[in-house]
Amino acid sequence: MMRRGPGLVGMAARTAVVAGTATAVSGRVARRQANRYADQDAQYVQQQTAAATQGAYSAPAPEEDPTTQIQKLAQLHESGALSDEEFAAAKAKVLGI
């Protein structure tokens, strides 16, 4: 009698080799992706920490009252640094007009 194929034991061995190879490859791919995403997460956390630290130390400039701002603009206008139109526009901006 002649055999036609590898038989039951041969097929089981081939299936085990294929399954083992697939498991090893998928495990390696998963580790590589996990490492890549871990590096990206670490960079993101580092950027966010730097941004938060930088924002914590820079205090916003105290807002001057409109009268003081207009007095400074008037001094600039009188010294010739601002034209009539520039002075009027800056004054309107300060007053919210």
Q: Are residues 15 and 54 in the same domain?
A: yes
pLDDT at 79: 92
pLDDT at 84: 92
Q: Are residues 54 and 66 in the same domain?
A: no
pLDDT at 12: 80
Tens of pLDDT along the chain (97 residues) come to 566 766 777 778 788 778 878 787 787 888 888 888 888 888 888 888 888 777 655 555 667 888 999 999 999 999 999 899 999 999 999 888 8
Is the pTM for the entire model greater than 0.75?
A: no
Domain that holds residue 76: 60-97
Q: Are residues 93 and 64 in the same domain?
A: yes
Considering its fold, how many domains does the chain have in total? 2
Distances (CA, A) of 54 to 51, 60, 62, 80: 5, 12, 18, 38
Q: Are residues 54 and 13 in the same domain?
A: yes
Q: Are residues 54 and 64 in the same domain?
A: no
Closest CA to 92 of 73, 77, 75: 73
